[in-house]
Amino acid sequence: MANAPVKKVPIHLQSSQNRLLIKNGRVVNEDGMEDADVYIEDGIIKQVGRNLIIPGGTRTIDATGLLVMPGGIDPHTHFELEMMGAKTADDFYKGTRAAVAGGTTTIIDFVLPEKGQSLVEAYNHWRQKADNKVCCDYALHVGVTWWSPSVKKEMQQLVEEHGINSFKMFMAYKDAWMLNDYELCQVMETCVELKALPLIHAENGSIIARNTEKLLAAGVTGPEGHALSRDEEVEAEAVNRACVIANQMNSPLYIVHVMSKSAVQALRLARTRQKQPLFGETLAATIGTDGSHYGNACFRHAAAHVLSPPLRARDTPAAIVDALAHDDLQIIASDNCTFHEKDKELGKDNFSKIPNGVNGVEDRMAILWQKAVNTGAMDPCRFVAVSSAAAARAFHLWPRKGRVAEGADADLALWDPRRERTVSAHAHHHAVDFNIFEGTHVIGSPQYVIVNGRVCLDDGELRVVEGFGKFLPTPPAAPAAYGARERTSDASDAPPADTPSPRASPVYTNGTPTELSISNKQMEGLSVSGCSTPTGRKMREPGQRDLQNSTFSISQELEGLDTKTSVRVRNPPGGKSSGLW
């Protein structure tokens, strides 16, 4: 028999197979820090600890002075979204490239169907837009922008067949995406049936519509009218109403983009009576800038800051940082939704026509570090919690994502707490030439970013690969949202049933953990930092690779040629991407 031809390993596969050792760094997780090395193979963290035995041919990164943190998870982006007569400027390539540049290694985008459009059709469209472009892993939420029995059926299909576990509803954008209270009840009930997490855009759309009519009639047409039409009370009323509806439907709830002190106060009050977990998300924009920009005489400048809910008074950023530090809010996202200047100009004569959205996916982590860690409001552990781990928990990606531990995906940000830079549109990676954080001096940024084991920011140089990321199916019944009401009897292969609700998360006061007993429970089932867990039990998320076998094998990789990564990297190193590590 003739010799079988030697199979060549494609160069991009070789690179994804490489071994990587991160040495001398300080590993930071949501529940603690330790000096430890991290060994990565085949995109997975294989060992965390000291004096590791490492095979030859391993690249070593010296992380002396760096913090080795889980890559950021930004659970709120809008790439290639058509809204208000325009399309967002950042597509899935540029958007995820900017994300990686800033230390974020997973994003969750929103499928937003038109009213009357099939949800599954819209989902398929989003997958088509994203799959070949994403530079890091991504998951999807789906918007429920209209209601009918067919929508309910499609929600079930999306959960059972398409890896969706969260649905966004709008209480604003009247005549476009807004649902009425009766519909919100039905969507939430359906979420509970499916064990999916309902997400809410909380603003009173009817009040906004009426205020807008009055402002325009009074001759207020500029961007300042945007903020005037929707003050804090308009947001807080909707937050309260959403919480009441969720409580009545016995549903967990996640409020997206909480922008004001009044909304935080509404959340705080709701938590005293809420039966099910209640998550609050805020934005980098909220802590990094403020509503004073709406008064800027330059339309381009003021319009670039228009998003909904709007930026607030000057004392809001500090108050929101405080809310994040004390667990009134759990998550910071970006709501990245950039528009070119020509699109913002659609609202030149009428503020209600300015496409809503700002940048943030690239600067989210640095802005949080600057405003929260450098000010002493948060310690690095809480930073990891709000920028990564809490989102992983809420959307059932934890502990595969959001944690530096054996068995987790090798998504890491190697953070230099001393690196100084000034944020500017001249240096950012977005498709737009405006940055709402322009001129902000930050101390602390990533020096290396590792995406599924590949060094994509290499000593400050960006080397992403278009199409390298993969879609992350998110299973329903996230313990963080549904664990409290249903405990698994046999926990051998499942996440701990007592994964804390947002309310039960560790609370930090001036950087000091005050509820560390909970952290120990969170550790159960995981081998953390090279130490055995109390139970010695390892946990595997659905779809996660078998981690027992840590032996490098080209033949195994060839067998796995049908994996998404191997077939979807359209631009291997040397093409659009630049180089190997």
Instruction: Tally Cβ neighbours within 10 Å of residue 207.
Output: 18
Query: Closest CB to ligand URP among 201 and 396?
Result: 201
Of ligand URP, Zn ion, none, which one does residue 357 interact with (CB within 5 to 8 Å by kind)? Answer: ligand URP
Minimal distance in Å, beta carbon 78 to Zn ion? Answer: 5
Of Zn ion, ligand URP, none, which one does residue 356 interact with (CB within 5 to 8 Å by kind)? Answer: ligand URP
- What are the residues whose beta carbons fall under 8 Å from the beta carbon of 298, sequence distance 6 or more? none
Query: Closest CB to ligand URP among 145 and 356?
Result: 356
Number of residues that bind Zn ion (CB under 5 A): 2
Report the alpha-carbon distance of residue 60 to residue 39 in Å, rounded: 9
Please, is 550 exposed, middle or buried when counting C-beta atoms within 10 Å of its C-beta (0-12, 13-18, 19+)?
middle
DSSP notation for 47-80: EEESS----SSEEEEE-TT-EEEEPEEEEEE-SS
Query: Closest CB to ligand URP among 201 and 364?
Result: 201
Query: Would you give the binding string for ligand URP spanning residues 291-330, x where CB under 6 A is met?
Result: ----------------xx----------------------
Report the SS3 class of residue 580: coil
Whether the Cβ atoms of residue 309 and residue 291 lie closer than 8 Å to each other? no
Which of 61, 99, 215, 337 touches ligand URP by CB under 6 A?
Answer: 337
Which of 162, 201, 261, 403 touches ligand URP by CB under 6 A?
Answer: 201
- What letters, b where the CB count within 10 A reaches 16 and e where it falls short, cover 86-119? bebbbbbbbbbbbbbbbbbbbbbbbbbbeeeeeb
Query: Would you give the binding string for ligand URP spanning residues 68-97, x where CB under 6 A is met?
Result: ----------x-------------------
| Strand spans (E) along 490-541 | 508-509, 512-513
Report the alpha-carbon distance of residue 437 to residue 417 in Å, rounded: 19
Q: Amino acid identity of 435?
A: N
Sole residue written with tokens 């020509």: 342
Minimal distance in Å, beta carbon 106 to Zn ion? Answer: 17
Backbone angles phi, psi at 532, to 5 degrees: -75, 150
Would you count residue 141 as binding Zn ion (CB under 5 A)?
no
Minimal distance in Å, beta carbon 208 to ligand URP? Answer: 12
Which of 335, 362, 406, 541 touches Zn ion by CB under 5 A?
Answer: 335
Instruction: Tally Cβ neighbours within 10 Å of residue 292.
Output: 12
Query: Would you give the binding string for ligand URP spanning residues 252-271, x where CB under 6 A is met?
Result: -----x--------------
Q: Which residue is nearest to ligand URP (CB)?
A: 356
Would you count residue 204 as binding ligand URP (CB under 6 A)?
no
Question: Which residues within the stretch 197-216 sit at the binding site for Zn ion (CB under 5 A)?
Answer: 201
User: Which residues contact ligand URP (rule: CB under 6 A)?
Assistant: 78, 201, 257, 307-308, 335, 337, 356-357
- By the criterion CB under 5 A, which residues form the site for Zn ion? 201, 335
